[in-house]
Amino acid sequence: MNELKKAIIPIAGLGTRMLPATKAIPKEMLPIAGKPIIQYVVEEAVEAGFKEIVFITHSSKTSVENHFDTSFELEAELEKRVKRSLLDEIKAISNLKVVIHSIRQGKALGLGHAILCAKSILNSNEPFAIILPDMLIDGPNKINNLSKMRKEYDLTGKSSILLGKAKKKDIKKYGIAKVNKNKLNHETDIVIKIIEKPSLKNAPSNLFAVGRYVFSYDLIEFLSKTKFDKSGEIQLTDAIESFLKKNQVNAHYLKGNFYDCGDKIGNLIANIEYSKKDPILKKAILNHLK
Ligand code: G1P
């Protein structure tokens, strides 16, 4: 079985939910407690054991790639000013033990199309993870949900989707799944259906795709066959729906909290919650909230 080492992170979206902040700045570079969203996500992938990151990107997003590159001028300046801890923090970003690839998504043809753009970088039959960077995940006691999914794939070769519980009002924002007990192994549930942004009435459950997926290479074949939807996009969820009719997809249940940082309120809440846990910001933010 091929080793799971690549995580695809689609970042070509224009971030319209965060305008005007995202007019000239990628939404992935917006800070949460002083650190760009994308850095949390890449660190999550590295911690989960991924060796390669594949950004599916757009011409307006070069600052994301630059963020993970060495910045000689900045480092020299911090060295000169003897800002040791800041220098170490900055160096650590470009020293992350991961290879970063970038592929351009020339046309905005949807999330499914973005993932399909990674086809040229995947070896034949190579599995991959997908990480949607809008969603920050904060596992309790440093639990890394993605790491569990990766380990399970390495043991069993089974694809999986991370599912969280959506509030009723949010069901229309997400991919909603239906699960069944696995008859052969009662400890796992299997995803048997997934619908993109259903109405509350049509939703098969309140379980939503949080934005962490692990798939065998076969998903690429299903993506290539997925038709454009009404809005002219190739939906990842449509490809998954066809894929799971032929392949077992395990459900993983989210441990911890999620923050949808791609919209204004989610982003603000994430800023407060992550600041409350930051050793430097904690005291000041708690005082302020009082
Ligand atoms: C995408 C997926 C959706 C998933 C969501 C998680 O939607 O299509 O299935 O639940 O991410 O954030 P988007 O946020 O791109 O509209």
Residue 192, token pair as written in the block: 């048997």
Phi, psi of 49 (to 5 degrees): 100, 10
Q: What is the pTM of this model?
A: 0.95
Q: Is 175 in the pocket of ligand 1 (CB under 6 A)?
A: yes
Q: Band of the pLDDT at 19, cuts 50, 70, 90?
A: very high
User: Looking at residue 84, what is its pLDDT?
Assistant: 84
What CA–CA distance (Å, rounded) separates 119 from 19? Answer: 31
C-alpha span between 137 and 162 (Å, rounded): 11
**Ligand 1 pocket mutation pick from 173, 176, 206, 241 by most atoms within 8 angstroms of CB:** 173
What is the distance in A from the centroid of ligand 1 to the CA of 77?
A: 41
CB 272 within 8 A of CB 289: yes
pLDDT of residue 139: 86
Specify the pLDDT at position 187. 76
What are 209-239's pLDDT values in tens digits? 999 999 999 999 999 999 999 999 999 999 9
Which residues are paired to 52 by β-bridges?
Answer: 6, 99
* Ligand 1 center to 280 CA (angstroms): 33
Atom in ligand 1 nearest the alpha carbon of residue 237? 9
Q: How far is the CA of 211 from the centre of ligand 1 (A)?
A: 7
Taking the C-alpha atoms of residue 290 and residue 286, their distance in angstroms, rounded to an integer, is 6
Nearest to 45 by CA among 175, 132, 105: 132
pLDDT digits (tens, 9 = 90+) for 60-118: 999 999 999 999 999 999 988 888 889 999 999 999 999 999 999 999 999 999 999 99
Domain ranges of the chain: 6-289
- Percent pLDDT > 90 in the chain is 90
CATH of 6-289, one of 3.50.50.60, 3.30.413.10, 3.90.550.10, 3.40.50.300: 3.90.550.10
Three-state helix/strand/coil letters over 44-86: HHHHCCCCEEEEEECHHHHHHHHHCCCCHHHHHHHHHCCCHHH
Q: Each residue of 180-204: pLDDT tens digit?
A: 988 777 778 999 999 999 999 999 9
Beta pairing, strands 31-32 & 6-10: unpaired
Judge residue 169's burial from the number of C-beta atoms within 10 Å of its C-beta, 0-12 exposed, 13-18 middle, 19 or more buried. Answer: exposed
